[in-house]
Amino acid sequence: MTPLIRNATLKDADIIAQFNIAMALETENKILEPAIILAGVRSLFAQPHAGFYLIAEMDNEVVGSLMITTEWSDWRNGLFWWIQSVYIQPAYRRKGIYGMLYKRVKLMAQEHPDVCGFRLYVEKDNWIAQKTYTKLGMQPTHYLIFEEEC
């Protein structure tokens, strides 16, 4: 059965927050504070210029999601869309659901002339995800990401 891919709405905030909590625990063994993550998810809905969520739904059940945030590139005079917070429920993995979400991102980007590309970051040792991204047409960049939390 093919999932329905749609833009998330504020009604989806609770499940998106649950997915983010599960992803952080699974990928980084990090426990997120539910109230903070839910507030963060809701905040993006209040700032549509900053990004949006896509949802994969099967039989009226949300089985996956991803978030798009934006980054201005003065070099390209356009926006990069960052694919983030990707989560597919374990029972639905390896069934092409992320690929369908990704294809929707590509189609949406083509409809926005100000989008110059899309990017994502991935754990260095997550070879399965890296293989998936490569198979879909993405390539590693020569950039490393540095951060300092405030």
Q: What is the pLDDT of residue 65?
A: 98
Residue 28 — pLDDT band, cuts 50, 70, 90? confident
Structure token pair of residue 6: 């749609």
Which pLDDT score is estimated for 43? 98
Whether 64 contacts 75, CB under 8 Å = no
3-state DSSP percent of the chain in helix, strand and coil, to 5: 40, 30, 35
CATH 3.40.630.30 describes domain 4-135: yes
pTM for the full predicted model: 0.91
Q: What confidence tier does 150 reach under pLDDT thresholds 50, 70, 90?
A: confident
Across 53-67, average pLDDT: 97
Structure tokens belonging to residue 51: 């990004």
